[in-house]
Amino acid sequence: MLRVFLAVLLLLSNSLAHARSYIDGHLHYVDFFQESEGMQTLLAAMDQASISHAAIMGIPVAKKWQEDEPKKPRYYAGDDADLYWYSATDFYLLQAIQQLKPEQQKRFFPFLSGFNANDKNAATHIRRTLELNPGFWQGIGEVFTRHDDVTALMQGDTPRANNEAMMKVYRIAAKFDLPVLLHSNITSKRERSPLYLEELEEALNKNTDVRFIWAHAGTSMELHRHQEKLDFLLPLIQRLLAEHDNLYIDLSWTMLKPYLVNAKGQPNADWLELLQAYPTRFVLGSDVVGRFDSLSEIMQSFEPILKALPDAVAQAIAKDNFLNLLPAQANK
């Protein structure tokens, strides 16, 4: 009887530890080779991670396996071969979702990403894609603009958040009431100042009717390898949130360290204060790419921060805020 009681107690303890439900606001169905473990593996991983819904997207570029490379690279940074724009990523995602049962389809908010962010024809391509499947796409992105080694390997020029092509895309986003998940690094690997801030702010200022989700708040793992921590980032985000009502911050995994938590996994008090000052302006994301076994670990890594916040704020960041970013006609 004692063993049964202890077993039930353990089950209850585990259940309470994972009682929080999340929305993953940044999940890539495919990797940089446009490959995926598939929907059934993803759904099982979401269940394990207590992820009720996910903003799901492809990847707008594909990695080339170069003629003189004897072995296929494992990641985009595996060798010096190019990345090229790849629009079929959206149709892979479309087909994968449409093959699911209706109740499974409702767990996903598909974002359209397969367009060249330097091409002024991109807005027309996006509009046509939206009209082919009315109501299916719930956002645009992740849009790759400044992205350190990713954009260094891209064929053609480096896209900017404020170039003419993207300004046209934002007008489409406004017309269809779609949020835009934008990757725009705040600086380069060497500069310890917000080198590219003007590009982001111009996009925000000229498109006040567009909801921008800033991927990783302009950071990346490659930036952290070179600079460890951007000391200007916290006060900069404070100012941007105060001045731009259309800006939201994606707290995906590169934000955990060195910003949200310290080396021991303890919450950063200054960031806790910021999250409470702007409780409706932050969302969570795993940023996994085509492989889903790390989903539970990533989402649980946000728990030290969420547990240190008031319950209402934690609930907003873990789930509610993302729902409020979706188009007005979305099934919430």
At 196-213, the pLDDT tens digits run 999 999 999 999 999 999
The letter for the amino acid at 317 is I
211 domain residue, yes or no: yes
pTM, two decimal places: 0.92
Write out residues in the chain with pLDDT < 50, as ranges: 1-17, 331-332
**Whether the Cβ atoms of residue 94 and residue 136 lie closer than 8 Å to each other:** yes
Domain count, the chain: 1
Distance between CA atoms of 71 and 31, rounded to whole angstroms? 17
Per the structure, the complete domain to which residue 225 belongs is given by: 21-325
CA 292 to chain centre: 15
**Is 5 within a domain?**
no
Q: Is residue 1 part of a domain?
A: no
* Residue 329: per-residue pLDDT: 62
Whole-angstrom Cα distance, residue 29 to residue 37? 8
Let me know: does 22 contact 50? Beta carbons within 8 Å.
yes
Quote the CA–CA distance of 224 and 219 in Å, as a whole number: 8
Q: Tell me if 12 is assigned to some domain.
A: no
Q: Please write the tens of the pLDDT for every residue from 105-123.
A: 999 999 999 999 999 999 9
Q: In this structure, are residues 132 and 87 in contact, taking their beta carbons and an 8 Å threshold?
A: no
Taking the C-alpha atoms of residue 128 and residue 202, their distance in angstroms, rounded to an integer, is: 26
192 CB neighbour count, 10 Å cutoff: 13
Q: What is the predicted pLDDT for the residue at 71?
A: 83
CATH at 195: 3.20.20.140
Question: Which residue type does 299 have?
Answer: M
pLDDT at residue 330, rounded to an integer? 60
Closest by alpha carbon to 205, among 195, 193, 197, 217?
197
Quote the tokens at residue 4.
Answer: 């049964």
- Identify the bridge partners of residue 46 per DSSP, sorted by sequence position: none
Q: Which residue has the tokens 């992820």?
A: 51
Rounded Cα distance between 50 and 193, Å, is: 38
Using the CB atoms, write b or e for 236-248: b if 16+ within 10 Å: bbeebbeebeebb
| Assigned domain for 14 exists | no
* 15 within domain boundaries: no
Closest residue by Cα to residue 250 from 303, 325, 170: 325
Q: Which of 176, 84, 164, 101 is nearest to 132 (CA)?
A: 176
Question: Residue 135 is encoded by which pair of tokens?
Answer: 């109501």
In 3D space, the residue among 321, 331, 273 whose CA is nearest the CA of residue 22 turns out to be 321
13: in domain: no
